[in-house]
């Protein structure tokens, strides 16, 4: 069965512009429309037959539209109910509607967002040690910038300060220690993780900080014996890729090994010569015509490829017109001339099913 579900499938249409197509095997699937209408279309061809599907539907009132359902900060509608949520640095109170100051050891998995120091815009508390661990989609990096920054002054930032690390813990390489009133420079991670610590002592307090983080496609990746993953865009599970993207992934294997890459899902704008949205594979770490292996678009899974040396480059280009679902690629280190097993189960974002190809 093709990755774009071209043979037997169920099409769910929310409005004229929003639709989702499903095929393969699902243990469960929940679809919520954004309007008061939904259309379900079932299509089958004259070849393979399967057992089909069973579905239930209910109507749901969005309680969040009425005075935020009484939630002090954020309200999320759920099927048959709603849920109050709090901004970073706060936790839900016992009444499940109001928010109170919470701990400051946070793990953040959204591809982009805003964070502030505890109590912001008021002064941060004294005697605090806080940690923020940022994790974005595999195959992407994190960009971090401060809008406001105000800490106790010291020439070596001995007292109140923040420190940012290029990785998933404070054992990673430090990108800098910052204090005072000078806004730190914009920072970027080399992988899909960043780690930030904040320390305040028992004396002076200041306003603290307000910062933003976002995801950047591309980067330098290391191929190992275990499978690594690349997603075409950071919000792969939520929608289509963006327009005017240019993403370069440079993958390096261990000495005397090559990089094997295969696509688990693939859906780019279809065009006979792949001139609009496309993926290119290069046998090396430079974008040179003599190193280009192939260019792919459409919805057919490209064949797997193993580089002749340690380096492989994957390039994604999208234009300003049509968008599609994108791709999931898997890569690992392998000995050139052999076939990588890819025995591990493909990891996908929440709500992203595994499509079984017959």
Q: Which domains does the chain have, with CATH numbers?
A: 103-217 (2.60.120.290), 219-334 (2.60.120.290)
Question: Which residue is it, tokens 């968008």?
Answer: 323
142 secondary structure, DSSP code: E
pLDDT band, very low/low/confident/very high, at 353 (cuts 50, 70, 90)? very low
Residue 356 has pLDDT above 50, yes or no: no
Residue 105: what pLDDT? 86
Residue 190: what pLDDT? 92
- For the chain, give me the number of helices (H) and strands (E)? 0, 25
* Cis amide bond preceding 4, omega within 30: no
Between the alpha carbon of residue 33 and those of residues 15, 25, 79, 212, 257, the distances in Å are 9, 22, 11, 30, 48
Considering the chain, what percentage of its residues have pLDDT values greater than 90?
Answer: 66
Query: What gap in Å lies between CA 311 and CA 284, rounded to an integer?
Result: 5
Closest-CA residue to 296 (of 323, 326, 321): 326
pLDDT band, very low/low/confident/very high, at 32 (cuts 50, 70, 90)? confident
Residue 357: what pLDDT? 28
Q: What distance, in Å, lies between the first and last C-alpha atoms of the chain?
A: 5
Residue 350: what pLDDT? 33
For range 74-86, the mean pLDDT: 88
Kindly report the number of other CB atoms within 10 A of residue 343's CB atom: 7
Closest-CA residue to 12 (of 35, 28, 31, 29): 31
| pLDDT tens figures, 114-158 | 999 998 889 999 999 999 999 999 999 999 999 999 999 999 999
Residue 67 has pLDDT above 50, yes or no: yes
On whether the CB atoms of residues 234 and 111 are closer than 8 A, the answer is yes
Q: What is the mean pLDDT of the chain?
A: 88
Q: Which two tokens stand for residue 338?
A: 């052999």
Considering the chain, what percentage of its residues have pLDDT values greater than 70?
Answer: 91
Pairing of strands 129-135, 99-101: unpaired
| pLDDT tens figures, 255-314 | 999 999 999 999 999 999 999 999 999 999 999 999 999 999 999 999 999 999 999 999
**SS3 (DSSP) at 290:** helix
Query: What gap in Å lies between CA 68 and CA 79, rounded to an integer?
Result: 16
Residue 337: what pLDDT? 66
Q: Could you tell me which residues are beta bridge partners of residue 105? A: 131
Residue 354 has pLDDT above 70, yes or no: no
For range 321-344, the mean pLDDT: 79
Closest-CA residue to 208 (of 170, 174, 180): 180
* Cis amide bond preceding 121, omega within 30: yes
Residue 14: what pLDDT? 80
Q: Which two tokens stand for residue 265?
A: 């899902």
**SS3 (DSSP) at 235:** coil
């Amino acid at each position: 069965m093709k990755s774009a579900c071209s043979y037997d499938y169920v099409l769910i249409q929310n409005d004229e512009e929003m639709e989702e197509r499903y095929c393969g095997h699902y243990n469960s699937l929940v679809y919520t429309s954004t309007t008061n209408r939904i259309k379900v279309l079932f299509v089958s061809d004259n070849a393979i037959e399967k057992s089909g599907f069973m579905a239930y539907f209910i109507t749901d009132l969005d309680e969040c539209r009425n005075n935020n359902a009484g939630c002090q900060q954020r309200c999320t509608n759920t099927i048959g109910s709603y849920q109050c949520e709090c901004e970073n640095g706060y936790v839900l109170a016992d009444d499940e509607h109001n928010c109170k100051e919470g701990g400051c050891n946070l793990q953040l998995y959204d591809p982009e967002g805003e964070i502030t120091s505890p109590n912001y815009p008021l002064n941060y508390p004294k005697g605090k040690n806080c940690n923020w661990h940022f994790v974005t989609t595999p195959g992407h990096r994190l960009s971090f910038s401060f809008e406001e920054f105000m800490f106790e002054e010291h020439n070596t930032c001995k007292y109140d300060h923040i420190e940012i690390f290029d990785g998933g813990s404070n054992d990673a390489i430090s990108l800098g220690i910052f204090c005072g009133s000078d806004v730190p420079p914009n920072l970027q991670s080399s992988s899909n993780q960043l780690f930030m610590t904040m320390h305040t002592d028992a004396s002076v307090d200041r306003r603290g900080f307000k910062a933003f983080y976002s995801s950047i496609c591309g980067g330098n990746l290391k191929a190992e014996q275990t499978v690594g993953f690349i997603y075409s865009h950071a919000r792969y599970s939520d929608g289509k890729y963006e327009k005017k993207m240019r993403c370069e992934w440079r993958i390096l294997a261990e000495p005397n090994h090559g990089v094997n890459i295969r696509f688990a899902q693939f859906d780019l704008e279809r065009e006979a010569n792949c001139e609009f949205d496309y993926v290119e594979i290069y046998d090396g770490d430079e974008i040179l015509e003599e190193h280009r292996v192939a260019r792919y678009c459409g919805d057919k899974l490209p064949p797997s490829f193993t580089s002749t040396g340690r380096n492989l480059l994957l390039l994604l280009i999208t234009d300003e017109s049509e968008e599609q679902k994108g791709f999931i690629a898997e890569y690992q280190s392998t000995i050139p001339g052999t076939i990588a097993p890819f025995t591990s189960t493909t990891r996908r974002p929440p709500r992203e099913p595994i499509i079984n190809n017959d």
